[in-house]
Amino acid sequence: MSSIDSKPPKLDIKYTQIFINNEWHKAVKGKTFPVINPSTGEEICQVEEATRADVDKAVEAARKAFDVESPWRKLEPAARGNLMRKFAQLLRRDIGYLSQLETLNNGKAVEDSKGDIYASADCIEYYAGWTDKIVGETIPGAHDQMIFTRHEPIGVCGQIIPWNYPIMMMAWKLGPALACGNVIILKPAEQTPLSALYCASLIKEAGFPPGVVNVIPGDGPECGNAVAAHEHIDKVAFTGSVEIGKKIQEAAAKSNLKRVSLELGGKSPLIICEDADIDYAVSVAHRAIFTNAAQNCTAGSRTFVHAKIYDEFIAKSVELAKNRVVGDPFDPMTEQGPQINESQFKKILGYVESGKKDGAKLECGGERAGSKGYFIRPTIFSGVKDDMQIAREEIFGPVMSVLKFDSYDDVIKRANGTNFGLGAGVITKDLTRGMTFAQRLQAGSVWVNDYDAVCNQAPFGGFKQSGHGRELGKYGLEAYYEVKTVVVKLV
Ligand code: ADP
């Protein structure tokens, strides 16, 4: 077992300022904020704090970069793709440093950081391939008309991202936006700005013209809100909580009615049928919830298990959870690092208390691991009922809630009985049953005999309050272009 005591490497933190116009800037108001290592609770460094005035500066740079005669607008689509490929190459070149930086700041296991960076480079390359394939349609008109559509970039896109996958969320946002020819103001989460700032230096090195990508570290209420409410930002894309997603949509509506795309939370069901291979089902359910210390918007946080295999499932899941390696995220054997910060840590332990109080049975975990940092032991509750708080609210922590079912019609209703609709999974050997679930589950992604099988070419997003718009795949481009109809009269 790896030690809980984290021994972070001495990393040279190169970039802590605001990135505008391919240059590093101090904050206009001269403020900085601390960035914390979640493995120890200690400060890593101070970062310049962008406020409204810095957002204005970034908007000015971005608008200039989007000017119709700018170098960026005059680039051939394929040349845009080449810049993106170069950026992807640089991500892979620097994976050693970048994975350590990501782990230092976010706490995720270093092997997971590497996986995220490879996936991010792949995502950027996937979208690089689209740059010269974003086509409109020709449309039949009257005999003396030519009608066609152009898919044009929207303009200045604000992108507000969370702390759980700092590099990957950046890649998911930059990829489609750049492929369509937009310019970007990216606000990383205040908890995890370091990898985005380093990546900004790679954007410059790759050769993107100044102002095309700007990175502004800052908090939500001031900096994030300034983006969402800005009169000269044309679109805002957001990944985060439902609560803030609603605020962003409201700020967008009250300002200039900028376009909005949202990827929000979940309380995703994973349904294990009686015919499932039990060991396989246990391993999928384990991964579905505990991946990334369960700080995952698609986390399979309601595990519905058929009554006939329920007891065996619990016993085997508890054994697996107890063996999960929680500890120093820099140790390559570690599977689970700390939660992101003290407030999440306390919130999660509060949910554990609520589960106990509501009468669920704590099978394992439910407590802190180690004495510093924000580590929590993998936790399993059995006997969870639909109306308990732990079955209704997003915990964003390593807590598996196992619910029993014996009727398939009933479990579909229960699985759908939530305001969320991001992901859903079903484990069964009966393909007809799997397909029936796939048809009836209300979720943006349904995985049959798998979970969280997200890939760059397939769309990802939410039904209901889990968001609107899709990321990834061809559908992901739709959030980043305007459709212009051109009608030509043949006079
Ligand atoms: P989480 O609960 O995962 O921290 P949040 O939804 O609070 O998620 O935050 C996700 C992102 O939204 C972060 O970059 C954060 O700074 C930003 N944010 C928080 N509040 C606001 C706000 N009022 N307006 C715009 N962005 C915000």
Tell me if residue 384 falls in helix, strand or coil: coil
CB count within 10 Å of CB 438 equals 15
How many whole angstroms from 51 Cα to the centroid of ligand 1?
14
Residue 408 CB-density burial (10 A; 0-12 exposed, 13-18 middle, 19+ buried): middle
- The CATH number of whichever domain residue 221 belongs to comes to 3.40.605.10
Q: Is 110 inside any structural domain?
A: yes
Residues 401 and 302: beta-carbon distance below 8 Å: yes
* Residues whose CB falls within 8 Å of the CB of residue 162, separated by 6 or more in sequence, listed in order: 169, 189, 239, 240
Facing residues of 36 across strands?
A: 43
Q: Are 259 and 479 in contact (CB under 8 A)?
A: yes
Give a yes or no: residue 404 inside a domain.
yes
Whether 125 and 182 share a structural domain: yes
SS3 for 203? Answer: helix
Q: What ipTM goes with this model? A: 0.98
What does the DSSP 8-state code read for residue 223? I
Query: Phi, psi (5° rounding) for residue 187?
Result: -110, 105
Q: Do 179 and 222 fall into the same domain?
A: yes
Domain containing 449: what range? 269-456
**Are residue 226 and residue 331 in the same domain, yes or no?**
no
**How far apart are alpha carbons 391 and 402 in whole angstroms?**
9
Residue nearest to atom 23 of ligand 1 (CA): 221
- Do 300 and 428 share a domain, yes or no? yes
Per-residue pLDDT in tens (0 to 9) along the chain, 491 residues:
456 787 788 899 999 999 999 999 999 999 999 999 999 999 999 999 999 999 999 999 999 999 999 999 999 999 999 999 999 999 999 999 999 999 999 999 999 999 999 999 999 999 999 999 999 999 999 999 999 999 999 999 999 999 999 999 999 999 999 999 999 999 999 999 999 999 999 999 999 999 999 999 999 999 999 999 999 999 999 999 999 999 999 999 999 999 999 999 999 999 999 999 999 999 999 999 999 999 999 999 999 999 999 999 999 999 999 999 999 999 999 999 999 999 999 999 999 999 999 999 999 999 999 999 999 999 999 999 999 999 999 999 999 999 999 999 999 999 999 999 999 999 999 999 999 999 999 999 999 999 999 999 999 999 999 999 999 999 999 999 999 999 999 99
Q: Which residue's CA is the nearest one to ligand 1's atom 21?
A: 220
Residues with CB under 6 A from ligand 1: 160-162, 187, 189-190, 219-221, 224-225, 228, 240-241, 244, 247-248
What is the three-class DSSP state of 43? strand
Distance 443 CA to ligand 1 centre (A): 23
Answer yes or no: is 4 within a domain.
no
Residue 167's closest CA among 201, 132, 198?
198
Tell me the C-alpha distance between 66 and 206, whole Å: 18
Q: Nearest 5°: phi and psi at 416? A: -85, -5
Q: Could you tell which of 165, 244, 260, 393 is best to mutate to test the pocket of ligand 1, judged by most ligand atoms within 8 Å of the CB?
A: 244
Contacts of 204 (CB under 8 A, 6+ apart): 22
**Distance from residue 162's CA to the centre of ligand 1 (Å):** 7
User: Which residue, by CA, sits nearest to atom 24 of ligand 1?
Assistant: 225
| 251, part of any domain | yes
Tell me, what CATH number does 365's domain have?
Answer: 3.40.309.10
CA–centroid distance, residue 242 to ligand 1 (Å): 10
Q: Up-side HSE of residue 162: CA atoms within 13 Å toward CB?
A: 18
DSSP-assigned beta bridge partners for residue 159 = 186, 237
The residue whose CA has the least distance to atom 11 of ligand 1 is 162
| Residue with CA at minimum distance from ligand 1 atom 9 | 240
Residues 377 and 473 in one domain: no
Ligand 1 atom having least distance to the Cα of 163: 3
Question: Ligand 1 mean position to 219 CA, how many Å?
Answer: 8
List active site positions: 263
221, 273: one domain: no
> Contact 212/57 with Cβ under 8 angstroms?
no
pLDDT reported for residue 30:
98
Decide if 276 contacts 370 (C-beta within 8 A).
Answer: no
Task: Give the residue from 82, 180, 81 showing the smallest Cα distance to 136.
Answer: 180
- Judged on CB neighbours under 10 Å (0-12, 13-18, 19+), 185 is buried
36, 51, 160: which to mutate for ligand 1, most atoms within 8 A of CB? 160
One domain, residues 250 and 279: no
Residues 397 and 474 in one domain: no
Which atom of ligand 1 is found nearest the CA of 190? 16
Return the pLDDT at 8: 84
Are 18 and 148 contacting, i.e. CB atoms less than 8 angstroms apart?
no
> How far does residue 189's CA lie from ligand 1's centre (Å)?
7
Q: Residue 379 in contact with residue 365, Cβ under 8 Å? A: yes
8 part of a folded domain: no
- Tell me, what's the pLDDT at 3? 63
Predicted confidence at residue 54, as pLDDT, reads 98
423 strand-pairing partners:
445
Q: What span, in angstroms and rounded, lies between the C-alpha atoms of 466 and 301?
A: 14
Residue minimizing CA distance to atom 2 of ligand 1: 241
* Amino acid code (one letter) for 421: G
Whether this prediction's pTM lies above 0.95 is answered by yes
Q: State in Å: Cα 421 to ligand 1 middle.
A: 20
Q: Do 165 and 132 reside in the same domain of the chain?
A: yes
Centre of ligand 1 to C-alpha 297, Å, is: 14
Q: Does a structural domain hold residue 11?
A: no
What's the rounded Cα separation, in Å, for the pair 347 and 393?
Answer: 12
Tokens in use for 263? Answer: 């990827």
Cα separations in angstroms, 356 against 268, 351, 361, 363, 384: 21, 9, 7, 11, 10
Q: What is the residue-wise DSSP string for 268-319?
A: EEEEE-TTS-HHHHHHHHHHHHHGGGG--TT-EEEEEEEGGGHHHHHHHHHH
The burial of 491, by beta-carbon neighbours within 10 Å (0-12 exposed, 13-18 middle, 19 or more buried), is given as exposed
pLDDT value of position 4: 76
The protein residue with its alpha carbon nearest to ligand 1, atom 20, reads 220
Q: Looking at the domain assignment, is residue 9 inside a domain? A: no
Count structural domains, the chain: 2
Are 360 and 389 within one domain? yes
Q: Rounded to whole angstroms, how far apart are CA atoms 276 and 297? A: 25
Residues 118, 205 share a domain: yes
Q: Where are the beta strands (DSSP E) in 365-409?
A: 379-382, 399-405
- Secondary structure, 3-state, 108-160: CCHHHHHHHHHHHHHHHHHHHCCCCCCCCCEECCCCCEEEEEEEEECCEEEEE
Distance CA 334, CA 325 (A): 5
Q: Which two tokens stand for residue 438?
A: 């796939």
Consecutive H or E run containing 239:
strand 235-239
Whether residue 189 is found in the same domain as residue 175: yes
68, part of any domain = yes
